Amino acid sequence: TAEGRILYYARRYDQAIGWLRKAQRSNARFCACHRTLAASLTLSGDTEAAKVVAQDLLKLEPRFSVSTFTSWYPLQRKDDLERLASGLRLANLPK
């Protein structure tokens, strides 16, 4: 999923989605993949698919919230973190 995350941060969402879907098929319980995939789908315009991925994430991590996640997620560039948070919120994940 490193490739998917790299492509996500490069704002190449369609390519990121392909890698993240592949990673998801390899390990359906990998929460980091679900988070980045949900944001990628939202930011690429596929909000409905992002909501499905978000629901899958909540099944794996029922207490997930965007604010808690962003409080510890180690991104150096604040705009990258805000874009990720925005994508997650738009996927209907709890704030």
pLDDT digit of tens for each residue in the chain (95 aa)? 789 999 999 999 999 999 999 999 999 999 999 999 999 999 999 999 999 999 999 999 999 999 999 999 998 889 999 999 999 999 999 99
pLDDT of residue 82: 95
pLDDT of residue 5: 92
The kind and range of the H/E element at 29 are none
pLDDT of residue 75: 87
Q: What is the identity of the amino acid at 67? A: S
- Alpha helices by DSSP H, listed for the chain, are 2-9, 13-26, 31-44, 47-60, 66-72, 78-90
Q: What does the block give as tokens for 90?
A: 């738009």
